[in-house]
Amino acid sequence: MPKWLQKSFVVLVTILTFGLVTPSQTFLYNQASAEKPTREDAVKAETTYSKIEEITEEELDSSDQIIQSWLNEAEELSYLKFGSRIKPVIEDEFKQVILPNIHKAIEEVAVQYPEEKLAYLELSEVPTGGNAEKIFHLYSKESNKDIIRFHVRKDHPPQSGYWFNFHYHTSEDNFEAHHELGSIYWDTNTPPKWMS
């Protein structure tokens, strides 16, 4: 087995196990007593190291990390939508009740796509203010079409005060069905406009 391949294997195992597995003492002794590498060995090792760096960068773009970045961004966009007047009132209940359901919905959509396609999905950057419902949408950058739309509506049932109804729509049914995420009570007074 060529030396560069052995060294590459050790480097790869070290990276993949993050130091949990160490090479045997015999292997380390043999490497220490071996000849100095030639120029050709150095070029091959550099090429192998570049390939290992590529693998590591690919691992950084794994589906779990992509999904986690969406979840973090979803929370930030929600708070942006609420604005400084609504956020302090509903933030705690939103984190406990609504946000876990948003996370679950995003994860359910993400598992439908292969990892290489996840990199082409993105959250819309700006929620709508005023009385519009849009919080954010998950869309395909390739087709520029929405996949899932997260909305919040202000409901005012008779003699019940105002409620914020969180829901989402999917492209599977052409965004017609409401998929409930939960509701948060506001007050008997009219809530301020979004992003105010």
Say whether both 49 and 126 belong to one domain: no
Phi/psi region, residue 174 (left: phi>0; alpha: psi -120 to 50; beta: rest), is left
Q: Which of these three, 25, 40, 60, is where a domain ends?
A: 60
* 72-86 mean pLDDT: 95
Say whether both 90 and 175 belong to one domain: yes
For residue 25, what are the domain limits?
Answer: 3-60
Per-residue model confidence (pLDDT) at position 119: 86
Say whether both 29 and 93 belong to one domain: no
Question: Does residue 126 sit within a domain?
Answer: yes
Say whether both 136 and 84 belong to one domain: yes
Q: How far apart are CA 52 and CA 39, in angstroms?
A: 20
Examine the pLDDT at 49 and tell me if it is beyond 60. no
In three-state secondary structure terms, 196 is coil
Q: Which of these three, 34, 60, 86, is where a domain ends?
A: 60
Reported as a single tens digit per residue, the pLDDT across 167-190 is 999 999 999 999 999 999 999 999
Q: How many domains does the chain have?
A: 2
| Number of helices (H), then strands (E), in the chain | 6, 5
* Cβ contacts of 92 within 8 Å, gap of 6 or more: none
Radius of gyration of the CA atoms of the chain, in A: 26
Torsion of CA 134, 178, 166, 61, to 10 degrees: -70
Per-residue model confidence (pLDDT) at position 115: 83
Other C-beta atoms closer than 10 Å to the C-beta of 54 total 10
Say whether both 53 and 35 belong to one domain: yes
Say whether both 81 and 167 belong to one domain: yes
Question: Does residue 169 sit within a domain?
Answer: yes
